[in-house]
Homo-oligomer: A and B are copies of this chain.
Amino acid sequence: MTRHQPLSAMQLPRFAEMGTFMRLPRTRDLEGVDVAIVGLPFDTGASFRVGARFGPEAIRRGSVLLRPYNASQKVNIFERCTVIDYGDLPVVPGFIEDSYARMEEGLAPMVDAGVIPLGLGGDHSITLAELRALSRRWGPLGLIQIDAHPDTWDAYWDKRYTHGTVFRRAVEEGILDPSRSVQVGMRGPIYEPDDYEQARRLGFDLITMDEVRGMGLDGVIARIRARAVGRGPYFLSFDIDSVDPAFAPGTGTPEVCGFTGYEALVLVRALTGTQLVGADVVELLPAYDTAEMTAMLAANVAYEILSLFALAKGERQGSA
């Protein structure tokens, strides 16, 4: 039996004792913990709308309707995994390099203890801190990135650290292995054709939304799985702007023509068998959300990621 369980709405109504993901215990005691939900409320990397610093808190509120059994994946997460809400890491709003240092340091206890961090952003710049922290244990990671933008620009206004440059930096730092990495969902007007080619030249398998519509979701899934299953440790980064604004209005750089909410969850569910050692859900900007629609979807994405962890643990236990 696992150590912690989310608070059930059968015990206490969902609107009581809100404040943690699924009303799990908020603790920093990592003993026996498999997964730690952790907030990274940093948004200084954002180039347009800003305010994702309130994202972790909003995803937690959006999670209160979740229940423990994932009927699509046929798994009770909390029977398999001990999950906690670790709270938020310290950041320094307005100062990205200091924040990187503090976030990386804040993640270290989890990484050291072998606890999988599930980060709640924050803008996409936070992923660099996560990759830095995790690569110290796992070496260069493969990346599965579900996103409207590749985030592989070199610089904005001569600045190398923004939410649009994070994966180029990770490749340069040797903490991300582009040859094992895949980016899916890119769309919208770009500056020049080379914008996507740059990512491909770096080694990423970049799949645009036009390609997704051409090959179908099953085709996309096959391509991702071919690249990622059995290929070593991976990080899954889910940018909520991969989803269409109709389903996810609360984000900073929305692009029309994205995934539906359903497609987004199906994509995540299909990642069974990949060795995920960390993940995040980023770019939720609650000031632009309506009826908590985006927050609830982000919470469901996090829930599906938890389910992957639970399934993976089950397989390991089953095979043991």
Contacts and interface: CB of A to CB of B under 8 A. Distances in A.
Interface of A: 8-20, 26, 39, 41, 43-51, 53-54, 56-57, 60-61, 64-72, 74, 76, 87-96, 98, 156-159, 161-162, 187-193, 195-196, 208, 210, 213, 244-247, 249-250, 253-257, 260-262, 265, 287-293, 296-297, 300, 303
A191 B16 contact: no
A261 B256 contact: yes
14 contacts: A8-B191, A13-B47, A13-B93, A16-B39, A17-B88, A19-B20, A50-B93, A69-B195, A94-B159, A244-B247, A245-B261, A246-B261, A246-B293, A254-B293
Contacts of A262: 213, 244, 256-257
A232 to B, nearest CB: 30
Q: What copy number does this chain have within its complex?
A: 6
A42 to B, nearest CB: 9
A191 B15 CA distance: 17
Contacts of A190: 67, 69, 71
Contact of A48 (B15, B60, B255): B15
A87 B96 CA distance: 28
Nearest to A95: B159
What are the nearest 3 A-B pairs in CB distance? A19-B19, A249-B291, A16-B88
Nearest to A87: B17
A260 to B, nearest CB: 8
